Copies of this chain bind each other. A is one copy, B any other.
Amino acid sequence: MVNFTYDIGTKVYFGKGQISALPASVKAYGSKVLLAYGGGSIKKNGIYDTITRLFRDNGISWTELSGIEPNPRHTTVNRGAEICRQNNVDVIVAVGGGSTIDCAKAVAFGTFYEGDAWDIIIGKAKPTRFLPVIAVLTLAATGSEMDRNGVISNLETNDKVGFAFAQSRPVAAIMDPEYTYSVSRYQTAAGSADIMSHVLETYFTPIIDGYLQDRFCESLLKTVIHYAPIALKQPDNYEARANLMWASSWAINDMIGYGKRCPWTVHPMEHELSAFFDITHGIGLAILTPAWMDYVLNEKTANKFAQYAVNVFGIQPQGDEMKTARAGIEETRRFFFQTLEIPSRLRDVGISEASLSIMANKLNLPSGYVPLDSADILKIYQACY
């Protein structure tokens, strides 16, 4: 186990009606809010009304950043930063899923930077200060409500780039599972695949002495596998929505990765797809994951894949480790494409065949679980095209 520093300071108000904790959470930081949200679904489902009433009743003033895109753009970040500067905003309240929260995190440091916030995202400039971000979660998927990360797209350059700063972790999160009852089948499936992918990126690493962390990984995977199908059938099943929501946070809040050290593989490969074709992140991940598993399965990795098959899917060990490993990958494929009904091929989600080599050439992942060069990545893209 490699050394680490545990520091997960987000205060989470989890459960029915926890939105009532929002005013006090805001007032710990000030009374001028940037209310950030996406396409307006929060106006349909009543969350917008609830929040603005709470603000009014508690002397909290706000300005709004609306229309945050599913793959949030750097131009939107700059627009939000400008609003914060002009209104002397004290705290950002991001209401939505990962896109909205990611965008809010970028606005949080963009506010204190005179130039284009993209400079900070690509590492050309360093952030100096951060506004506090409070997340009100409406989608169980990215885990942005409790992590340090964000991903922003630049459509001018076809880039989708992640950032991670300790100060980007939301100071508080309101997580009411009932807020996810209205999430569509498609988004529920995509979110579930996203949670699983976060765990798999952490589970498959060369470091093998993180036994406890691996068991936690399997716990999270089993939770999604158990409850995602229930949420698809019964969108208002509280138990299912609550377990998925809590799993989404723990899949990526750093906990399962402490003591390990390994760059991710499938996420960067998917970010190329989303950057070029603006597809739903979780869908791209689901399509790529089994193909990636097939490709990196070898004599060295078979043991871990077999462990995955047995501990997550309850597959009986089949004597031959490689055979057990393959059965686990097959179950992964079945879960994504049959149980969750996610499209199984890149061609099904509008990716052009000609683009595969362009995207693969932009990437090179020399230090992942199994190192991959551009030629390897192209083969994986092609295998699931």
Contact = CB atoms under 8 A, between A and B. Distances in A.
Given A219-B216, A219-B218, A219-B219, A243 B12 contact: no
A163 interface: no
A350 B143 CA distance: 52
A56 interface: no
Given A14-B5, A15-B2, A239-B1, A223 B219 contact: no
Contacts of A258: 14
A106 B11 CA distance: 25
Interface stretch (A70-78, A85-93, A207-215): A207-215
A243 B226 CA distance: 27
B8 A8 contact: yes
Nearest to A2: B15
Contact of A14 (B6, B10, B246): B6
Given A218-B219, A219-B218, A219-B219, A243 B15 contact: no
Given A4-B15, A259-B242, A259-B246, A223 B227 contact: no
Chain copies in the assembly? 2
Given A215-B219, A223-B215, A242 B209 contact: yes
Interface string A207-244: 00101100110111011001100000000001100110
A366 interface: no
Interface of A: 1-18, 21, 177, 209, 211-212, 215-216, 218-220, 222-223, 226-227, 238-239, 242-243, 246-247, 250, 258-259
A5 to B, nearest CB: 6
Given A216-B216, A242-B259, A12 B6 contact: yes
B9 A9 contact: yes
Given A1-B177, A215-B222, A216-B216, 11 more contacts: A4-B14, A5-B11, A6-B11, A6-B14, A14-B258, A15-B259, A209-B239, A209-B242, A211-B243, A212-B223, A212-B247
Contacts of A242: 1, 209, 259
